[in-house]
């Protein structure tokens, strides 16, 4: 694949990406969520049409209009969410859409033989389930069924999209064995992941994507986790850490021994303690997908917790919901501005009410005063330099940076006691980044307690007074930004330490 | 005082703004052209089938707006289409597909009649008692419809049951159970037909304008007032904002502190209450008793088409309801005064509805998928 570019409206998901896969090898595609991995593979698989670039398979230039074309060219994709009919048997699922026919009737016995052949060649252990319904299988077995399905359709190139996300550690080990075996048999595999360790273990080559661009391709034998982490997280702007000496106040938000499950039911946060004081910024660093999202949602009241407690200004708020926490004074700049922070089809006026539905003067006795909301929207646009300055524009017509400035403005204008900012500058232009950083630092000077979650180390180092590094649902360590180095943070982010790390202090 | 009158002014002002927007005029023009085209084709089919196309067309117009009784009949149907249409629109705007308006309509209407019959002995006869019983009946209808809507809402919120399936099933259950009840325990004394007793004569909506059976301008007034109330709730209240935001973008609503489960239940309750009011108007204004609901018409289903035609906008429900009312009224007139078979009449009416809704469906599909750009 050469020079692949894919745009969704104004958003560039893949920017001039080159990618090449050697026959009989495993190539990992590594990057954070939203870095464009799945988009790139969806272009290859014919799900999306590319805006520019060329694809060659075995030296032939190809263009796939649909997954069916890609399948015919020997490319199979195993999606993150399995594409199986749960109420049908494994055999039926495998042949679905590619039924061998004999005089117009489906020849199941021929199919059965072919599938048993495939299974015995790679020792999949799927043949014993052929007549079992998919809904009775565990996730690891379902994934092997998906692989068998692709092989049955004649796939030489297999794309596995985050295959380990839903598996237990034992299942992951089995999957990596299966992948190695397939590569030995001459198949070529693309392994999409955001986990560094798995990429290093499984792949021959690793290509790192960041913000839609291919940062580089390295040999897995010649690289290290910390190098990969640096490539993934990147360094865009050189930030100077402003000097500060304001005394820290009392703890305002205090969570103890939080245990939180993710959307798929697996525990994503395992026994985390968080303390935020007045007038400080707590930075939470880490490669995305290590439980930061779930932690933030537990703190803001969007996700139930399994165990632990959350205290706010000395009161137990563990059982309160999001709206009660908004009223209490916990503002939240969400991770995803397009799906959470703004209703895309609403004007900025209507969006100015989002999260303010219980705040006077905008709403009084359950009735909305749109004139007051309109004035509020105009104020946010003026104070936070939102372009274009038109409160009747729909949110989706604004650029990412301006959407984010609007959200930041709206949340700050709540006059909260605690601000939780999740990736506050992701995908935002440099000018807006500086602007948002300055505002957060001002709030800190004014005595607010702030949590900043980011996977950008430079951002964390610039803003934070303390840095907690999160890895696989736990805080590896909490360190002082002035006493740590990027290397040390990189090690912590990949699960080494805190013993290996110097300068760590207890939280 | 000044504050509330200002608020009223704002409501009227923005309502007018909604009505006068260019796209609304455009839509009306498209709808008119679609009706004309559909009628042209329909008349062609009627002629090809060997019937008199001129007589067909004349009686179509006569049946819809030709004289007092035709207009009254049109408005009678329209009243019900507007009320049930608003019930559907409330739910659809919030992203909850309430297909159960028919069931909520039936349950609401039955509760209205039974509550009036059971309360009547306790109140004095005459105007005072009549008004009191009307209030009792409407309250019972709204409550019963609301509860019958809240139930599938709760099943969705707390047991993740598909609303479309549960509401369809609850339609059958409502029709079956009410049908059995009017046949057996609640059949009026001496009735051979499966009907309840009649409600007292003095419990009725006054005719005032049209002297035509089964229609009262008060019923239409109730429908228009309901439209106004729902419009204000959707556009001006926090609950409406929460609801519409949930329909647009659930994740953003959750982020802003809207409880998804609670909103689903409340939406279905409100939708069911409006359907229950529709049932009460039907029971009091048209029937005066309750009968086997399998034979009372499918207002709750037709309402889905009414609501979609109006792009689920409460104000748009009024013209859409009038169109459906006019077509139904014309259909029954043609059936009586010409020899065109009823199947053919229904076919032509279906053609008109199809032609009118197709541009709307395209528009909604385009908005949902983001295809086709800003202007169509």
Find out whether A299 and A275 touch, Cβ atoms under 8 Å. Answer: no
Distance from CA of A293 to the nearest CA of B (A): 13
Distance CA A326, CA A117 (A): 59
User: Under CATH, domain A251-340+415-505 is a member of which superfamily?
Assistant: P-loop containing nucleotide triphosphate hydrolases (3.40.50.300)
Is the pLDDT reported for residue A244 higher than 80? Answer: no
pLDDT digits (tens, 9 = 90+) for A133-164: 888 887 778 888 888 888 888 888 999 988 88
Find out whether A73 and A57 touch, Cβ atoms under 8 Å. Answer: yes
Reference A491, options A471, A473, A507, A462; nearest CA is A471
Do domains A2-233 and A251-340+415-505 share one topology? The answer is yes
Which residue out of A325, A326, A346 would a mutagenesis test of the B interface target, given it has the greatest number of B Cβ atoms within 10 Å? Answer: A346
Average pLDDT over residues A172-201: 86
Between A264 and B94, residue with greater pLDDT: B94
Is the pLDDT reported for residue A479 higher than 60? Answer: yes
User: With helix as H, strand as E and coil as C, how does chain B read?
Assistant: CHHHHHHHHHHHHHHHHHHHCHHHHHHHHHHHHHHHHHHHHHHHHHHHCCCCHHHHHHHHHHHHHCCHHHHHHHHHHHHHHHHHHHHHHHHHHCCCCCCCHHHHHHHHHHHHHHHHHHHHHHCCCCHHHHHHHHHHHHHHHHHHHHHHHHHHHHHHHHHCCCHHHHHHHHHHHHHHHHHHHHHCCCCCCCCCCCECCCCCCCCCCCCCCCCCCCCCHHHHHHHHHHHHHHHHHHHHEHHHHHHHHHHHCHHHHHHCCCCHHHHHHHHHHHHHHHHHHHHHHHHHHHHCCCECHHHCCCHHHHHHHHHHHCCCCCCCHHHHHHHHHHHHHHHHHHHHHCCCCHHHHHHHHHHHHHHHHHHHHHHHHHHHHCCCCCCC
Please tell me the CATH code under which domain A2-233 is placed. 3.40.50.300
Between A506 and A194, residue with greater pLDDT: A194
Report in angstroms the alpha-carbon separations of B331 from A421, B210, B352. Answer: 62, 21, 12
Is the pLDDT reported for residue A465 higher than 60? Answer: yes
DSSP H or E stretch at residue A376 = helix A370-383
Q: Does any CB of chain B come closer than 8 Å to the CB of residue A353?
A: yes
Which residue out of A326, A343, A395, A416 would a mutagenesis test of the B interface target, given it has the greatest number of B Cβ atoms within 10 Å? Answer: A343
Distance from CA of A342 to the nearest CA of B (A): 6
- The encoded tokens of residue B31 equal 């709808």
Nearest residue in chain A measured CA to CA from B258:
A323
Average pLDDT over residues A186-196: 86
Beta strand residue intervals within A436-492, DSSP E: 449-453, 466-471, 474-479
Report in angstroms the alpha-carbon separations of B143 from B103, B140, B163. Answer: 14, 5, 20
Distance from CA of A308 to the nearest CA of B (A): 22
The minimal CB distance from A366 to the residues B7, B237, B245 is found for B237
CB contact set of B92 (below 8 Å; sequence gap of 6+) = B98, B247, B307, B308, B312
- Provide the CATH number for the domain around residue B180: 1.10.3470
B37 is a domain residue: no
A368 and B237: CB-CB below 8 Å? yes
Give B233's contacts in chain A (Cβ within 8 Å).
Answer: none
Nearest residue in chain A measured CA to CA from B241:
A357
The minimal CB distance from B238 to the residues A341, A345, A366 is found for A366
Report in angstroms the alpha-carbon separations of B252 from A162, A180, A403, B241. Answer: 26, 42, 14, 12
B252 and A339: CB-CB below 8 Å? yes
CB-CB neighbours of A16 under 10 Å: 14
Distance CA B348, CA B37 (A): 11
Q: Does any CB of chain A come closer than 8 Å to the CB of residue B257?
A: yes
Instruction: Give the domain ranges of chain A.
Output: 2-233, 251-340+415-505
Is the pLDDT reported for residue A296 higher than 90? Answer: yes
Give B241's contacts in chain A (Cβ within 8 Å).
Answer: 350, 353, 357, 368
Q: How many CB pairs under 8 A join A and B?
A: 71
Q: Does any CB of chain B come closer than 8 Å to the CB of residue A334?
A: yes
Of the listed ranges A110-114, A216-220, A225-229, B247-251, the one predicted with least confidence: A225-229
Output b/e per residue, A463-475; b: 16+ Cβ within 10 A: bbbbbbbbbbbbb
Give A339's contacts in chain B (Cβ within 8 Å).
Answer: 249, 251-252
A355 and B249: CB-CB below 8 Å? no
Give A301's contacts in chain B (Cβ within 8 Å).
Answer: 257
Residue A379, SS3? helix
Distance CA A216, CA A18 (A): 9
pLDDT at A237: 45
Taken in order A151, A153, A154, A156, the sign of the CA dihedral is negative
B111 is a domain residue: yes
pLDDT at A31: 80
The minimal CB distance from B249 to the residues A301, A321, A343 is found for A343
pLDDT digits (tens, 9 = 90+) for A64-103: 888 888 888 888 888 877 888 888 888 888 888 778 777 7
Reference A13, options A29, A30, A31, A37; nearest CA is A37
Global confidence as pTM: 0.71
Find out whether A424 and A408 touch, Cβ atoms under 8 Å. Answer: yes
Which residue out of A326, A366, A411 would a mutagenesis test of the B interface target, given it has the greatest number of B Cβ atoms within 10 Å? Answer: A366
Which residue out of B238, B247, B363, B364 would a mutagenesis test of the A interface target, given it has the greatest number of A Cβ atoms within 10 Å? Answer: B238
Give A326's contacts in chain B (Cβ within 8 Å).
Answer: 256-257
B359 is a domain residue: no
Q: Does any CB of chain A come closer than 8 Å to the CB of residue B172?
A: no
What ipTM goes with this model? 0.77
Residue with tokens 């819809």: B64
Report in angstroms the alpha-carbon separations of B183 from B192, B284, B296. Answer: 9, 20, 15
Give B252's contacts in chain A (Cβ within 8 Å).
Answer: 339-343, 354
A357 and B237: CB-CB below 8 Å? no
Task: State the total domains in chain B.
Answer: 1
Backbone angles phi, psi at A170, to 5 degrees: -65, -45
Q: Looking at the DSSP assignment, which residues form a beta bridge with residue A281?
A: A450
Q: Does any CB of chain B come closer than 8 Å to the CB of residue A328?
A: no
Distance from CA of A341 to the nearest CA of B (A): 6
pLDDT digits (tens, 9 = 90+) for A397-455: 887 788 899 999 999 988 889 999 998 887 777 677 888 898 999 888 888 999 999 87
Distance CA A73, CA A77 (A): 12
Is the pLDDT reported for residue A502 higher than 60? Answer: no
Distance CA A149, CA A114 (A): 11
Give B249's contacts in chain A (Cβ within 8 Å).
Answer: 339, 343-345
pLDDT at A34: 65
Q: Does any CB of chain A come closer than 8 Å to the CB of residue B259?
A: yes
Is the pLDDT reported for residue A30 higher than 60? Answer: yes
- The encoded tokens of residue B218 equal 């008060």
Residues of chain A above pLDDT 90, percent: 19
Provide block-wise average pLDDT over 10 residues at a time, chain B (376 residues).
Answer: 59 50 66 85 90 88 87 93 96 92 96 93 87 94 96 93 93 94 86 86 82 85 95 93 91 90 94 96 92 88 88 90 91 86 87 79 61 38
Distance from CA of B194 to the nearest CA of A (A): 44
Give B255's contacts in chain A (Cβ within 8 Å).
Answer: 302, 322, 332, 334, 340-341, 354-355
First to last CA, chain A: 47
Give B10's contacts in chain A (Cβ within 8 Å).
Answer: 370-371
Distance CA B35, CA B268 (A): 33
Distance CA B372, CA B376 (A): 7
Average pLDDT over residues A205-216: 86
Between A35 and A23, residue with greater pLDDT: A23
Report in angstroms the alpha-carbon separations of A140 from A81, A127, A168, A272. Answer: 12, 14, 8, 29
**Domain that residue B127 falls in:** 79-324
| Residue ranges of A 355-374 with Cβ closer than 8 A to chain B | 355-358, 363, 366-368, 370-371
Which residue out of B3, B256, B260 would a mutagenesis test of the A interface target, given it has the greatest number of A Cβ atoms within 10 Å? Answer: B256
pLDDT at B373: 37
pLDDT at B24: 64
CA atoms within a 13 Å half-sphere pointing along the CA-CB vector of A481:
22
CB-CB neighbours of A382 under 10 Å: 12
Report in angstroms the alpha-carbon separations of B116 from A83, B109, B134, B206, B284. Answer: 55, 11, 7, 17, 10
Report in angstroms the alpha-carbon separations of A90 from A117, A127, A442. Answer: 15, 9, 59
């Amino acid at each position: 694949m050469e020079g692949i570019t894919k745009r969704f409206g104004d958003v560039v998901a893949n920017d001039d990406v080159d990618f090449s896969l050697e026959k009989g090898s495993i190539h990992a595609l590594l990057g954070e969520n939203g870095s464009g991995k799945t988009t790139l593979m969806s272009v290859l698989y014919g799900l999306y049409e590319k805006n520019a670039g060329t694809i060659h398979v075995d030296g032939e230039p190809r263009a796939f209009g649909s997954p069916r074309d890609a399948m015919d060219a020997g490319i199979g994709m195993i999606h993150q969410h399995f594409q199986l009919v749960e109420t049908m048997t494994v055999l039926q699922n495998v042949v679905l859409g590619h039924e061998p026919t004999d005089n117009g009737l489906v020849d199941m016995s021929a199919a059965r033989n072919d599938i048993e052949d495939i299974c015995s060649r790679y020792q999949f252990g799927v043949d014993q389930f052929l007549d079992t319904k998919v809904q009775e299988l565990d996730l690891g077995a379902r994934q092997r069924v998906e692989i068998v399905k692709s092989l049955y359709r004649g796939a030489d190139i297999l794309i596995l999209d985050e295959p380990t996300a839903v598996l237990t550690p034992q299942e992951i080990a089995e999957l990596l064995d299966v992948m190695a075996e397939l590569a030995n048999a001459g198949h070529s595999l693309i392994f999409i992941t955001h986990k560094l360790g798995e990429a290093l273990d499984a792949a021959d080559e690793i290509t790192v994507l960041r913000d839609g661009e291919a940062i580089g391709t390295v040999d897995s034998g010649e690289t290290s986790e910390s190098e990969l982490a640096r490539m993934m997280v990147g360094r865009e702007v050189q930030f100077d850490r402003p000097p500060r000496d304001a005394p820290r106040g009392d703890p305002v938000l205090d969570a103890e021994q939080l245990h939180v499950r993710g959307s798929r039911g697996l525990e994503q946060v395992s026994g985390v303690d968080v303390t935020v004081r007045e007038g400080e910024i707590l930075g939470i660093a880490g490669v995305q997908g290590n439980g930061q999202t779930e932690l933030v949602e537990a703190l803001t009241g969007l996700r139930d917790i399994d165990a632990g407690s959350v205290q706010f200004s000395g009161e137990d708020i563990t059982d309160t919901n999001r709206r009660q926490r908004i009223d209490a004074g916990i503002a939240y700049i969400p991770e995803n501005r397009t799906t959470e922070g703004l209703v895309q089809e609403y004007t900025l006026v209507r969006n100015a009410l989002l999260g303010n539905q219980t705040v006077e003067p905008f709403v009084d006795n359950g009735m909305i005063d749109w004139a007051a909301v309109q004035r509020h929207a105009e104020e946010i646009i003026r104070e936070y330099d939102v372009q274009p300055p038109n409160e009747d524009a729909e949110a989706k017509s604004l650029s990412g940076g301006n959407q984010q400035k609007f959200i930041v403005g709206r949340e700050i204008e709540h006059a909260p006691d605690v601000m939780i900012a999740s990736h506050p500058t992701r995908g935002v232009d440099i000018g807006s980044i500086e602007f948002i950083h300055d505002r957060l630092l001002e709030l800190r000077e004014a005595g607010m307690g702030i949590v900043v979650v980011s996977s950008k180390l430079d951002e964390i180092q610039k803003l934070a007074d303390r840095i907690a590094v999160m890895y696989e649902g736990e805080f590896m360590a909490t360190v002082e930004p002035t006493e740590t180095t990027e290397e040390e943070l990189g090690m912590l982010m990949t699960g080494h330490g805190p013993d290996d790390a110097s300068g760590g202090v207890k939280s | 005082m000044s504050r509330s009158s200002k608020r009223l002014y704002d409501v009227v002002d923005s309502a007018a703004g909604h009505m006068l927007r260019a796209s609304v005029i455009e839509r009306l023009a498209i709808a008119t052209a679609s009706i004309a085209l559909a009628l042209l084709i329909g008349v062609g089919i009627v002629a090809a089938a060997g019937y008199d196309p001129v007589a067909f067309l004349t009686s179509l117009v006569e049946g819809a707006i030709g004289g007092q009784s035709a207009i009254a009949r049109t408005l009678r149907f329209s009243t019900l289409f507007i009320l049930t249409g608003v019930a559907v629109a409330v739910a659809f705007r919030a992203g909850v597909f309430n297909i159960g308006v028919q069931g909520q309509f039936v349950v609401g209407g039955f509760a209205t009649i039974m509550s009036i019959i059971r309360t009547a002995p306790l109140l004095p006869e005459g105007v005072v008692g009549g008004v009191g019983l009307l209030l009792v009946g409407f309250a019972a209808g709204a409550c019963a419809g609301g509860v019958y809507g809240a139930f599938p809402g709760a099943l969705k919120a707390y047991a993740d049951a598909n609303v479309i399936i549960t509401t369809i099933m609850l339609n059958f259950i409502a029709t079956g159970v009410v049908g059995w009840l009017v046949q057996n325990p609640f059949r009026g004394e001496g009735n051979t037909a499966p009907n309840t007793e009649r409600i007292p004569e003095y419990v009725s909506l006054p005719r005032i304008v049209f002297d035509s059976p089964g229609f009262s301008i008060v019923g239409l007034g109730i429908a228009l007032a309901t439209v106004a109330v729902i419009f204000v709730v959707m556009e001006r209240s926090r609950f409406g904002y929460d609801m519409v935001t949930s329909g647009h973008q659930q994740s953003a609503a959750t982020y802003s502190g809207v409880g998804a489960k609670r909103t689903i239940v409340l939406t279905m309750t409100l939708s069911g209450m409006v359907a229950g009011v529709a049932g009460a108007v039907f029971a009091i204004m048209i029937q005066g008793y309750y009968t086997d609901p399998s034979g009372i018409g499918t207002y709750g289903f037709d309402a889905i088409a009414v609501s979609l035609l109006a792009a689920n906008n409460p104000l748009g429900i009024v013209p859409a309801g009038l169109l459906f009312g006019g077509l139904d009224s014309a259909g029954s007139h043609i059936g009586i005064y010409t020899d065109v078979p009823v199947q053919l009449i229904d076919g032509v009416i279906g053609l008109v509805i199809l032609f009118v809704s197709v541009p709307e469906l395209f528009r909604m599909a385009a908005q949902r998928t983001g295809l086709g750009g800003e202007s169509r």
